[in-house]
Amino acid sequence: MASKSNIDKEYKVRDPIYGFIRLDAQEMAIVNSPHFQRLRRIKQLSLTDMVYPSANHTRFEHSLGVMQMASDMFENIARNPNTLRRLKLQLDAVPRIKKIIRLAALLHDIGHAPFSHSGEDAMPPLPSNHPRYQPNKRKCYTHEDYSIAAIKFLFRDLIEQHSVCENLGIKAEDIVALLGDQTGLPTRTSIIWKELISGQLDADRADYLLRDSLHIGINYGLFDRNRLVSCMTIGESEEESSFLAIEEGGWHVAESLVIARYQMFSQVYFHKVRRIFDYHLGKALQEILRHTEHDEGLFPEPTTADNLMRYLDCDDWKISGALKDRKGGEHGDIILNRNPFKYEDEWDHLPEGAELSEANEKIKKYGGYIDYGAKTKWYKLDKDIKIFREKDKKTCSLSMKSELIKAMPRLPKVIRLYINQTGRRS
C-alpha cells in the first residue's frame, strides 16, 4: 500500500518517442515489481539484431509506450462530447475507463515468452475446457493467455488494493477483458476499448512501429503520431453500434500507418535472415526446455500461480546463458556462431509437385527448412479501418478511400527454402 504522501505523486520517465511518459504511484509500483522488471530482459525483436545490430530494445520500454499511446488516444476521444454521447458515457465515468485502459496497455505484454514471438513455439496445447479449444485441432496457448493469467494471479492486489484505485472499484477482470480474456463476460466497456489495445488502430502497433524504426535506424515505420491521436473518434451507424474510427479529415494518417506496417513487415519482420533465426531459436529453446523444465520441451501451462512463476523465471538472459553453455543443441550452436541456414529459393505460391519434391530432397540430403511464415499473424490488414464523417454520420472503409491501400497485396505469399550450408559442405 502506498503511503498517503506518495498517492498523488507523478513519476516521469524519459522516452525517445513521447519525451516523457507519466506514471502515477500505482503504475510505478507495477513497473517496479519483479515480474514487470523481467520485461527489461525480453527483447522486443528477438534476434533481429543478427541483421540490424541496434535492434536491442525491450518489451519494458514498449509497454510503457503503449500505456502512453493508449492514454493519449483515449483522452482525445473522451474530449469530444459527441463520442461520450454515442457511448452513453457520463463524464464522471471517464477516469475509471482511462485507468483500465492504462493498466491493460501497461500489462499487455507481461506474459511474453523469452525472445518474444520466437518463443511461442514452446507453448503447450489448450485443454478441452478452454474457450478457444477445438476438437481435432492443435490449438496452443498464446502469450496473451500468459499475460491474462499473470494479471489475475500476480498483479491482482496491485490493481485492486492500491490507494490510487480505491475509489474506482477496478478489478483484475476489468483489465484482462481488454486483453481478450474469455473466462469473464464481455461488457460495453471491454468490447469497444479492447480495440485500443489490439485492433486495427491500436496503441500497441502504433508504438512498436515508431519504436522499432527508431531503434533499428530506419524510417519505414514512421507516421504522424500526433495527427493519428487527434483524429481518433467514435462513430455510429444504424447498422452497427458505436465503433472506433478515424475522423474523415485524418484518413491520410491512417493510410500512412497501414503503409508503415506493410513496409516494416517486408523490410524487417519478414527479413529472410531474421526469419530463419526465429526458426533456429524456436528449436534451440525447445532443446533447452527439454533439459531444464519439461521432457516435452514446452512451457508450463498458465493455470496456476506456481506454473506462472516458473514460466516467468524464463527470460532472454536465462535462455542466452543456456545457449552459451551449449545446451541449445545444433540450433543453439548455429545462433552462437551466427551460421544460419542459408536462403536458397522462394515461391509466391504454395509449392507442390516437382518443386516441393525437389525442395524436400535437398532438405533430406543437407538439412534445411521451408518457412511458410507469410501467414504469420504479425502482418495483418484484417479489419478495415473505419472512416467516419461527423456532419452526415456516413461511414466507409479506409480501403475504399485509399487507392494505395486498395492496391496493396493483402497477404503476400512468400514461402522460402533454407538449406544447411554445413550439411551441404560436408
Residues of the shown chain interacting with other proteins in the complex, contacts defined by CB under 8 A? 88, 129, 131-132, 134, 136-137, 139, 180, 182-188, 191-192, 194-195, 237-244, 349-350, 352, 375, 377, 380-383, 392-397, 400, 409-411
Q: What would the grid cell of residue 76 be? A: 482525445
Integer CA distances (angstroms), 106 to 11, 77, 110, 262, in order = 15, 19, 8, 25
Least Å distance between CB 189 and other proteins? 9
Q: What would the grid cell of residue 282 be? A: 524456436
Measured from the CB atom, is 37 or 182 closer to other proteins? 182
Least Å distance between CB 291 and other proteins? 32
Residue 116: DSSP 8-state: G
Residue 55: DSSP 8-state: -
Measured from the CB atom, is 305 or 400 closer to other proteins? 400
Least Å distance between CB 8 and other proteins? 34
Whole-number Å distance between alpha carbons of 338 and 274: 11
CB 192 within 8 A of CB 235: no
Measured from the CB atom, is 34 or 135 closer to other proteins? 135
Measured from the CB atom, is 181 or 287 closer to other proteins? 181
Measured from the CB atom, is 317 or 372 closer to other proteins? 372
Measured from the CB atom, is 92 or 239 closer to other proteins? 239
Residue 294: name the closest of 312, 316, 311 by CA. 311
Whole-number Å distance between alpha carbons of 294 and 286: 9
- Provide the 10 A C-beta neighbour count for residue 350: 10
At 127, phi and psi to the nearest 5?
-75, 165
Least Å distance between CB 204 and other proteins? 14
Least Å distance between CB 105 and other proteins? 18
Residue 78: name the closest of 86, 227, 132 by CA. 86
- Provide the 10 A C-beta neighbour count for residue 353: 7
Least Å distance between CB 237 and other proteins? 6
Measured from the CB atom, is 83 or 213 closer to other proteins? 83
Least Å distance between CB 254 and other proteins? 16
CB 267 within 8 A of CB 379: no
